[in-house]
């Protein structure tokens, strides 16, 4: 998979794990690297950068992994969605990760949130974030490009942006975004967005490629008032199960392989050694034309979106920079 400044490995290890014990996360990253993942996705806001940094240092010191052999992505948090805050947030991420550069730096979300203490966004009593009134996408992008010039990022991109917002960035860009990271899975296939990105040379990275079955638990761990919601049951889908049986593969492997064959880069999360391995083991089979058609028919559109941020930012759907469509 091409990104502007090198290649992004075609599967990544997601670390938006919610609140987990650092030793458990370190063990999961160790397993991921040992079974062959060479792409780790994190974000300032996930709180996983420090553990990733420590784990990588251990691997580098052992001589079993070189910095240039692993692709690390992190993201500008919502309280940094402002041109004056890009420099300081990427420097904090690099320090957490104990790295001189990241392979990919993304603007995490097109709407900004006010900053509270402890590097976290400010929240009201119900746990909602406070919105910044407007985002200057061109000005932020200029500061993202400055990170390429400063050598802090090898490539830069966007996350959770829609087509029109990407077009705004493209119009003013000196270096076009190399990547867009969005929620994407069998029930929310984002065909128009993927087509637009591929036509513009933008690699699409899929977060929650298994439909984020742990989403409610994870969000409740961040703030107890989180309102639970029904989640897409991709792993229990009978069509996916039957395709899996045909190939001797699990539903998760079919769901991931489908994305790989669409030219999209999935970043599944797992804390379980067997499943970490299983999710990487998708390069020894191929879905045929009929399988791909059955998978395409599973599309449900917006109603399958898990991460719409509505439960996180109060009133975000009325914000001029809210990226997602209506149901």
Residues serving a catalytic function are 46
- Residues that bind ligand A2P (rule: CB under 6 A) add up to a total of 19
| Interface residue with ligand A2P, options 210, 259, 264, 287 (CB under 6 A) | 210
* Minimum gap (Å) between residue 210 Cβ and ligand A2P: 3
Distance of CA 290 to the CA centre of its chain: 29
Residue (269 or 319) nearer to ligand A2P, CB: 269
Q: Out of 53, 244, 268, 323, which residue is the one contacting ligand A2P (CB under 6 A)?
A: 268
| CB-based contacts of 28, cutoff 8 Å, min separation 6 | 17, 270, 271, 272, 273, 276
Query: How many CB atoms are located within 10 Å of the residue 165 CB?
Result: 18
Q: Least distance in Å: CB of 93 to ligand A2P?
A: 21
Rg of the chain's alpha carbons, rounded to an integer?
19
d(CA 250, CA 302): 26
Nearer to ligand A2P among residue 189 and residue 250 (C-beta): 250
Residue where the block lists tokens 């919502």: 78
Q: Is 177 in the site for ligand A2P (CB under 6 A)?
A: no
Q: In what order do the strands lie in the sheet with 265-266?
A: 13-14, 39-41, 71-76, 104-107, 156-159, 179-183, 203-207, 265-266
For position 198 contacting ligand A2P by CB under 6 A, the verdict is no
- Assess 270 for contact with ligand A2P (CB under 6 A): yes
3-state secondary structure 247-280: HCCCHHHHHHHHHHHCCCEECCCCCCHHHHHHHH
Which of 14, 77, 110, 121: binder of ligand A2P (CB under 6 A)?
Answer: 14
Q: Please report whether residue 269 would count as binding ligand A2P according to CB under 6 A.
A: yes
User: Does 41 sit near ligand A2P (CB under 6 A)?
Assistant: no
Work out whether 49 is an interface residue with ligand A2P (CB under 6 A). no
Q: Which of 214, 291, 308, 321 binds ligand A2P (CB under 6 A)?
A: 214
């Amino acid at each position: 998979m091409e990104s502007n400044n090198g290649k992004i490995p075609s599967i990544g290890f997601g670390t938006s794990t919610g609140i987990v014990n650092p030793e458990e996360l370190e063990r999961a990253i160790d397993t991921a690297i040992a079974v062959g993942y060479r792409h780790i996705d994190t974000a300032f806001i996930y709180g996983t950068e420090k553990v990733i940094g420590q784990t990588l240092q251990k691997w580098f010191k052992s001589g079993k992994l070189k910095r240039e052999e692993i692709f690390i992505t992190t993201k500008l948090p919502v309280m940094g969605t402002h041109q004056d805050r890009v420099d300081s947030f990427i420097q904090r991420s690099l320090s957490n990760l104990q790295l001189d550069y990241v392979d990919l730096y993304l603007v995490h979300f097109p709407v900004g949130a006010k900053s509270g203490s402890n590097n976290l966004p400010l929240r009201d009593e119900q746990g909602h974030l406070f919105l910044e009134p407007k985002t200057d996408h061109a000005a932020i992008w200029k500061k993202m490009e400055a990170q390429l010039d400063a050598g802090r990022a090898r490539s830069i991109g966007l996350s959770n942006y829609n087509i029109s917002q990407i077009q705004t960035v493209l119009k003013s860009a000196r270096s076009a975004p190399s990547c867009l990271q969005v929620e994407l899975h069998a029930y929310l296939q984002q065909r128009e967005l993927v087509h637009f990105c591929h036509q513009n040379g933008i690699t699409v990275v899929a977060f929650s490629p298994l439909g984020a079955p742990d989403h409610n638990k994870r969000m409740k761990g961040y703030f107890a008032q989180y309102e639970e919601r029904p989640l897409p049951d991709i792993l229990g889908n009978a069509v996916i199960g039957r395709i899996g049986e045909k190939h001797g593969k699990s539903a998760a492997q079919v769901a991931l392989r489908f994305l790989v064959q669409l030219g999209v880069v999935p970043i599944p999360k797992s804390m379980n050694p067997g499943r970490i391995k299983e999710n990487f083991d998708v390069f020894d089979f191929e879905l045929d034309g009929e399988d791909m058609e059955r998978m395409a028919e599973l599309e449900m559109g917006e109603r399958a979106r898990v991460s719409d941020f509505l439960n996180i930012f109060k009133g975000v759907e009325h914000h001029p920079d809210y990226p997602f469509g209506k149901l």
